[in-house]
Every structure is written in C-alpha cells, then in structure tokens.
Structure 1
C-alpha cells in the first residue's frame, strides 16, 4: 500500500486523466457491472424456470414470465457487454491519445537532457511499451478489479439480507478470491514477472554491448565466458516462466475450490431455506446457479493484480521522463580553469540491487590527458561515465573536479563536458542550426570554421543548399561518419574542457573509423578526453589505458608499457592491426 501511494504521490499520467474522464469511467464501470448482473440474473431466472417447468404446472402462465425474463436477460447481457467494450475502448483511446501527445512533447522539449540521462533502450521502452502498459492498467487491472469488488459486495449484501450468517460466510469465502489471492499474486507472481522483465531488459542491453565487443572475447580466449553470459539470462527467464505458469495453475485451482465452496454454501442454505413447499423449492437452483457468471471477473482480479508491478514501473518511468529536473542544492561554478578530475575510492551499487557495480575505484586525469577505458560488457563502464557526469552518485567515495564535488557542479555541466556517443542526435533542421547547438551565440563564420576543422567543408559546399541543407530526422541525410563529424563540430563550438567519447566509431567501417579517430584527436588535442571503446584501434592517441573488469581496474598504464608487459593487451593490439600472433 505504501508503494501504491508513493507511485501516485506525484503522478502526472494516471490520476489527472481519471479525473478528466471520470464520467466516462463511471459509465464503463456501470456497464461492466450490469453485464455480469444480467448474466447472474439470467442464470437465476433459468434455475427458477427449469425447476418450475419440471413440476409441469397446469397453466402456461406460471412459466410465461420467467420465459420472457430469460429472453430479456439473454439479450441484456451481450448488449451491456458490447456497450461496455465500446465505452472502455473509447475511454482508453482518449487517454492514450493524450498520453502520446504529452510524451512526444516531453521528448521534444527535453531531447538533450533525456539523451544524457536515459539510454536509447530506455527511451524505446517508454515509446513502445510503457504507454501500452498504462493502457493495460485500466483494461486488465482497474476495470476488472472494481467490477469484481462491486459484484462481491452485491452478492454478500444480497444474501446477507436473507441470512446474515450465510452472508458472512460468503464474505470470507469470496474474500479469499477477491482480496487474499490478489495480494498473494502481487507478492509472489507479480514480483516474479517484474524480475523477468528486468532480466530481459538487461539481457537485450548487455547482448548488444557484448556483440559489439565480440572480438575482445574471442581473442582473449573467453569464448565460453561469453556464451555463459548469454545462456544464463535465457535459463533464468525460462525458469521464471515455468514458475509463473505453475503458480497460475495453482491460483486458478484455488479460485475454483473456494468458488465451489461458495456455490455449495448457497446450495445447502437454499436447500434448507426454501423447502417449506414445492413452490419454494424452485428457488434452490436459482440461488446456486446465479453465482456462476461472476467467476470470470473474480479470476481476472488476481491476474490483473499480479501485473501491477510491471505497470508501476512504467508509471514511474514516464513520470520521471516528463518531470522537471531536480534542482541541486548548493550549486556552484568551477573555481578557475579545469585542472584535474579525480575519482577517489569510489564504490557504487544501485539502490534496488545489492550487487556492487564498481568497487573502490581510484582514477586521476589531468588537464589535456587522453584516457582510454576498455573492458567487457557489464563491467561498469557506462556506470562510471554516469558518475563522472553526475547522473549517479557514489555509494562510497567521491568524484571531484578541481577538488569540487561533481554533484555541486551540475549547473556548470554543459560548460565542463562535451559528449560524442554512438548515435549523436541530429535534428530535422539545417546543417548550420545543428552545429550551432553547441553554442547558440556562435556566428556563422565560427560554425563554418568548426565544420572546416572536422573536414566536412568540401562535402557541405558540394550540396545544392550548402550550409542550409536539411539534415533530416536523426541526420538521415548523411552517413554515420558524417553524422559523427557534425556532432564533433558541435562539440568544438561548445568548447568544454572535458570530452567523453562513448564508442563513437562502433558502427563505422575500419577505414572510416580510423579517419574519424585521427580527426577527433587532432581537433581535440588541447582537450581532456575520456574514451570508452571495445577495441584498440586508435589507442596510440591516448596517454593512459584502463581495463575495467568486475568493477575494478584490471590493467592500467600507457599503451607502450602495456604492450611490453601485458600479453593480453599485446594480442588485442596486434589483432586490431591485422597481425597474427602466436
């Protein structure tokens, strides 16, 4: 319950739309309840009709009214069901339309900030899945649970009017189905489904990262370790799904058992209550049969509740995406020019994970130095970058610039860091406008000088519209290497002292990769560079190399020292140059 309140405490995606469309929501719930009440009334009436007809009454008038009611309730049930489906989907389509509009506005208005704080996979997850999850929150959880609870109260109160003891017994028996089992589903099966989604998400992310660095695994002789990393999450997911199916079977069986007990309770009670005469006996089957239609919403309550953790994560993610950035307290500007970035005995673990990602890391980078950061996937390279940028905060230790905690320098972040990653974001506007994003006050001549520095001047001049050429969405007008150079020109205009290269050449062919790296290190020769890479092409450009593995630095030193003293480094180095070593 505490988690539920926390989820909606600052919610801007679910609760506002419940209030906005409250009357339509009320109509949906009313039609849903009437659907099952009509079904229950049909069974109740049918039970009476069958019993009365079996007595072979002397006059047809005795069964004429039940026959008419059977037709009426028989028509009412599908009619209410159809209207409920139309209304509920109308409700969902309305809010999903509002969701998508709001989501795309958030992405458009905060594209640069989102790019720094969210992985591409997270953004795709939000766009592709989270809105659907919130839609399913209504269709699969909210609507069935509210309808089921209303029917539960209706049955208990309705029977309690005739006999309070039987009503109390039904309160307990049906309460197990609509209250206890949903709570157990959330605690057990819901947590399992949430864990499965987490494993699947991490598996997709890590697999992409590991495939990109496949040559490192092969040349280091760790092929079996690579395969183990892929098969382990697959086996975990398969195990969780088996447990999920097993649990659902037993939960369904339990619902059927308690529902059977409720039916027997009604049957026994009505058998004693309505046996005073032959006419009263007609009501015995009526009460027993009336309960059967409500088993459908009762079953849906537990399943909908078990899916709540998945929906909760989606709600939290979209709220985090659209929320205003948290204002850091005691913000300051950097004292003087940048001179040193220090990682001082940093240990890090995520709040919801006991696993230590980084353990007691120490690193010092002076102004103008070039550092290459290597290591297999999942070793903490991305986490270390987040700590350097201030997106995450160390569990122990500290990250400082010129002795100042990075957390206090977030207002100056754009003046301290420039980032060139795998897929630089280019907007559907002109070349001039895209590059000028690095410094909105830059003149046209400064923009052109930056483009010339990254060796794109001949290409731009050859285009019909020159610097006014439309880049197209995500830079589709240009090749991968050209997009990286445009982003590099933007970084030059930004003129930040620290440049982070997050595998900017991962999707490029070897020739384009070499040319781009030569250009990058040439135009940024006066900058401090932190370069995350999977292999050693261009490693001669850096001053020091750090191999990060299992959350710690495994190898470190200059490229020359590592080549002379580390056989693993030497093999990787020779492989990247096409040289076969023994």
Structure 2
C-alpha cells in the first residue's frame, strides 16, 4: 500500500455519507462509550498500581494497619470498578452499534427501494449479497473492533505520558517513543502490509459471491453443458487463493503480536530500572512505589494489543464504505413541502380522469440517443390501450415514466394533472403493475396475494384467487390457501404465478393497471387463457398493455406501435387491420401466416 492509497482511504472516510452521519446522530452515546472504555483500562492499571504498592508496603510490616488502609480501600474500589466499567461499556457500545446498524439497514433498504425497478439491471446479485451479508457487519466491526479501541488506547497513551511527566520529563519522553511503537508504528505497518492483503482478500471473497450466485442461478446450464467439474475446479481454485491470502495475513499477525509483546517486555524493564533509580532507599517508603509502577504496565497490554490488528482492518471497512456510498443517494422526502402535500391531498380526493404524456423525450445518458422522442399519449378512464414495438423501441421506458419511476428530460407525464414523478409511494394507489416476472415470496399463498393490500382479510384474498381462476385448484391442495409457494414461486407454473400477481392487483384495486409483457415465456394456449382472464377481471380498469406481439390486441380499444421512440401506427385494432398495410403485414407475421 503506497501513499496514494492512504490518501484515497482518508478521502473515502472524509467524504463518507453513510457512516459519519450516525456518529453525529449518536455522538453523546459515543462519548459515553469512549469514557467508559477509558475508565475500564484506567481501573485495570490503577488496580495493579495500588495492589503493587499495597503488597510492597505490607511486606515492610507497617506498625499500624492504618498505614495501608487507603491502598486496601483503593484496591477494592478499582477491583470492583474495572468489571463494572467493562460491563457497562460493553452494553453501551453494543447498544450504540446496534442503533447505528439498524439505521444503516433501513437506509440501505430505502436506497435500494428507490431503484427497485432497475435493481436487476444495475446490480449483480453477488454485489447485493456482499452488501447485505458482509458490509453491514464490517461497518459494525469498524466501531467495535477499530474506532473504539484505537481512540481509547490513544486516550490511555496521552494519560500515561502526562502522568509520567509529573515525575520525570525525560522518562516521559522515552516512554512516549516506546509506546509510540505499539500505538502508532505497529498499527501503521499493519495497515501498509496486512491492510493491502486484507483488502485483496475481501475483493476475492466478493468475487466468490458473484461466482457462486451466478453458478447457482445457472446450475441447470452447467449440468446440461456437461461442464460441472469445470466450474468446481474454477471455484476451488478461487477459494484456494483466498485461503492462501488468509494464511499470509495470519502469519504476519503472529509476527507482529510477538514484536508487540517484546516491546512491552522492554517497557516493563525500562520502568523497573527507572523506578529503581528514582525511588531509592526506604525513607518515606519510596521503594514501595517500584512494584506499583511496574505492575501498572501490564494492563496497558490490553489497551494497545488490539490496535495494530484493528488498524489493518481499515482497508476492509474502506471497501465496505465505498460500496455503500456507491448506492443511490436517498432522495429527500418531499411530504413536508406544503404545496406538494396539498397537491397530493387534492389528487386523493378525486376519482381517476386521465393519465397523460405530453411531448415526452427521454434518454438514459445525457447526449445519447433518445429512447422516447416527443411522445404524446392520453389514456382516459376506462380506456384499454396496447403499446407494441420491437425490443429497444422504448415500450418499457414509457411504462416506467407512466409510473413515475423515470423523469423525462422534456415534456410531462401527469395523472389528473399532477406529475407522476411527484407522487412517490402514492402512485401505488393509482397504478398497479404486473410485469414479466412478478416475484413470489417463500411464504403462503395468502401472504403472497395480500401484498396487494396488507389490510385485506383472508376472505377477501380467497375471493380474489377465485376471481383469477385459482381458487378451486389451491383449495384442493393439502394445505389449501396456506400452501407455501416456495422460493421464487417454484411451487407454481409461470401462468399460475401471473394469476397470483393478478390477484394482488385486484386487492390493490387501482384504477389503472400496467401490464408489462406479462405473458413472456408462456405457451400460446396458456398465454391466451391468461389474457382472457386478465381482460375479464380488469374490465372496469384502464389498461396499459406493453407487449411485443399482437395476440389478444383485438380486445383493446386502441393499438399504438412505437418505433425509434415515436408513434408509427395508432388506431383501433379493427381500423388498422382493415386499412393499414403495415399493421396487416405485422398481424400476418405474428400469426405465422
């Protein structure tokens, strides 16, 4: 690790927007943790100090017990205070960290939730697992194992130097240099040597997450291609590299810890020599202080022993902080803005009239090709419209703008005159979505469908399941409506999964339903059955159906064909089939004629 890397690390922590805010939020508790940690180590050293004095003083056979009464009391006091401070410090520090990590997990969810529509496009599954499984825990350990020990040890370091300076300034300066070896030099060497190794190891572990999740998701293809052993060899090779790096890290740790113990042995000898020189003779019991000072050195090992290893882990935390700071910034909640709140309130008092796109243009990157180019479309209450086009034509982008997930660079997308991008979570009261792969959670059928309306009763959920044609089938299962759908909906077929999603929409009861290619991957018969079900149970809704072919479009009020982000064909299915040559050609191609 070079100087540039140290500068980069310092900049990472300085510009952090994830961890630092919680240090400010819980700063009083943080100060209490540091104070309790300092008092724990101070009590341990003070206990050894007065115990050494008491033993030495008692060995001189004092003529009166009152001459050792004060050190006896202090020994008891520090003997009690050390575990008490330790216990309270543990409770307080873990309470502080749990509060912080709880807020971090909430912030992480809110951050990912903003990009939920694009999460599969923006992030690898392995990266998300790395954040959830490792980064939050690393941030937690950043405090418990790094920040707290380092700050407390530096506090003890300063206190020791000041205390010794009251007796001998030259020896205080000597101790400052000797303790700097364990408080500054060894941590810095650990950071430079082991820090780089630990960073490489963490990167390799994250790579294993990506490699393993990719293999698990594609396990069938590995088997079908007959290359299972190739994957196992590749993964074992990557895992072996991680183990070898771990061995080098531990070997360095053992060498460093040995040097740390040697350093403290030298410090103890130095203190013994100094006290033997300063406290000579028996006059005034000066010799009793020798044991006190020497024994007080040994608890300092606990204060400084963890600092070098803690410092070397900073690179791990840097990677976690970088990964978390790379997540989307949480948008400020606009609900407190009075004009916005009034607009939402007025909208919620209205019935749905129209959702509209006016001269909308959009591109995913500034200066890149427009995905949607001056697009205008009005969908009034009760209208059913199909939006068609080949892949990349802009269909799904239009759907995301209608829901407010994307904001156009030009033009407007409004619902009853209110921009959909300003509705936030309120959009779910107006627009329901059934996409290509609705996620089914590993819980019961009832719980999966109730996602559409968490307040819905079991009876309402069951009624929705009967409406979509699944009631009799599920009721006949051994566990009935409490049947688990299994992970990712593995218990049910693709068509049945789409019907479960439709049941959610019925419970959600929105005036607009956006169907984003819900029949992709289904066979023609199942597709037609699902389409008939969709259009039957949603007959009173406004439907925006994004699709790539023409099966079922005869049930729509209007068909819009998009090419290069613009409307190329528009009209009723009947008119287009009778009058538009291009539509007729597409219709025949779609039917395989």
TM-score normalised by the chain length of structure 2:
0.59
**Structure 2 residue aligned with 1:479:** 492
**Structure 2 residue aligned with 1:435:** 434
**Structure 2 residue aligned with 1:573:** none
Cα distance change of structure 1 residues 368 and 116 upon mapping to structure 2, 3 Å threshold: closer
What whole-Å deviation, never above 9, does each CA across 1:434-456 have from its counterpart, x for those lacking one?
Answer: 22799xxxxxxxxxxxxxxxxxx
1:44 aligns with 2:49: yes
Instruction: Compute the displacement of 1:478 (Å).
Output: 7.4
1:155 aligns with 2:192: no
Which of 198, 203, 208 aligns to 1:203? It is 208
Which of 370, 388, 413 aligns to 1:333? It is 370
What whole-Å deviation, never above 9, does each CA across 1:276-320 have from its counterpart, x for those lacking one?
Answer: 435111111111111111211211111211221222222222222
**Structure 1 residue aligned with 2:558:** none
Cα distance change of structure 1 residues 49 and 488 upon mapping to structure 2, 3 Å threshold: closer
What whole-Å deviation, never above 9, does each CA across 1:239-290 have from its counterpart, x for those lacking one?
Answer: 1222122111111101101111111111111110101435111111111111
Counterpart Cα distance in 1 of 2:183 and 2:31: 21
Counterpart Cα distance in 2 of 1:223 and 1:165: 69
Within 5 A, what are the aligned runs for 1:13-92? 13-92=18-97
Counterpart Cα distance in 2 of 1:243 and 1:524: 62
Counterpart Cα distance in 1 of 2:316 and 2:129: 16
1:116 aligns with 2:153: no
Which of 178, 181, 189 aligns to 1:176? It is 181
1:462 aligns with 2:469: yes
What whole-Å deviation, never above 9, does each CA across 1:538-571 have from its counterpart, x for those lacking one?
Answer: xxxxxxxxxxxxxxxxxxxxxxxxxxxxxxxxxx
Work out whether residues 434 and 498 of structure 2, in 8 Å CA contact, stay in contact via their aligned partners in 1.
no
Instruction: Compute the displacement of 1:164 (Å).
Output: 1.9
**Structure 2 residue aligned with 1:314:** 320
Secondary structure of 1:433's aligned partner: strand
Cα distance change of structure 1 residues 38 and 242 upon mapping to structure 2, 3 Å threshold: same
Secondary structure of 1:321's aligned partner: coil
Counterpart Cα distance in 2 of 1:513 and 1:189: 60
**Structure 2 residue aligned with 1:549:** none
Cα distance change of structure 1 residues 513 and 296 upon mapping to structure 2, 3 Å threshold: farther
1:287 aligns with 2:293: yes
Number of residue equivalences? 413
**Structure 2 residue aligned with 1:248:** 253
**Structure 1 residue aligned with 2:242:** 237
Gaps of 5+ in 2: 1-5, 332-363, 375-388, 398-406, 411-427, 438-464, 473-480, 506-512, 531-545, 552-560, 564-593
Instruction: Compute the displacement of 1:212 (Å).
Output: 5.8
Secondary structure of 1:462's aligned partner: coil
Work out whether residues 47 and 285 of structure 1, in 8 Å CA contact, stay in contact via their aligned partners in 2.
yes
TM-score normalised by the chain length of structure 1:
0.60
Instruction: Compute the displacement of 1:108 (Å).
Output: 2.4
**Structure 1 residue aligned with 2:584:** none
1:298 aligns with 2:335: no
Cα distance change of structure 1 residues 513 and 171 upon mapping to structure 2, 3 Å threshold: farther
Secondary structure of 2:327's aligned partner: helix
Instruction: Compute the displacement of 1:31 (Å).
Output: 1.0
**Structure 1 residue aligned with 2:360:** none
Work out whether residues 164 and 172 of structure 2, in 8 Å CA contact, stay in contact via their aligned partners in 1.
yes
Instruction: Compute the displacement of 1:336 (Å).
Output: 7.5
**Structure 2 residue aligned with 1:418:** none
**Structure 2 residue aligned with 1:447:** none
Counterpart Cα distance in 1 of 2:467 and 2:373: 38
Counterpart Cα distance in 2 of 1:68 and 1:513: 89
More off after superposition, 249-258 vs 58-67: 58-67
What whole-Å deviation, never above 9, does each CA across 1:418-472 have from its counterpart, x for those lacking one?
Answer: xxxxxxxxxxx8998222799xxxxxxxxxxxxxxxxxxx99741459xxx9x99
Work out whether residues 48 and 285 of structure 1, in 8 Å CA contact, stay in contact via their aligned partners in 2.
yes
Larger Rg: 2
Secondary structure of 1:434's aligned partner: strand
Work out whether residues 131 and 320 of structure 2, in 8 Å CA contact, stay in contact via their aligned partners in 1.
yes
Counterpart Cα distance in 1 of 2:200 and 2:524: 39
**Structure 2 residue aligned with 1:561:** none
What whole-Å deviation, never above 9, does each CA across 1:158-200 have from its counterpart, x for those lacking one?
Answer: 2123222211221121111111111122222222222222222
Counterpart Cα distance in 1 of 2:25 and 2:257: 36
Counterpart Cα distance in 2 of 1:49 and 1:236: 55
More off after superposition, 148-157 vs 231-240: 231-240
Work out whether residues 328 and 410 of structure 1, in 8 Å CA contact, stay in contact via their aligned partners in 2.
no
Instruction: Compute the displacement of 1:110 (Å).
Output: 2.4
Cα distance change of structure 1 residues 77 and 461 upon mapping to structure 2, 3 Å threshold: closer
**Structure 1 residue aligned with 2:453:** none
**Structure 2 residue aligned with 1:374:** none
Work out whether residues 194 and 252 of structure 2, in 8 Å CA contact, stay in contact via their aligned partners in 1.
yes
Cα distance change of structure 1 residues 217 and 127 upon mapping to structure 2, 3 Å threshold: closer
Counterpart Cα distance in 2 of 1:435 and 1:211: 26
**Structure 2 residue aligned with 1:417:** none
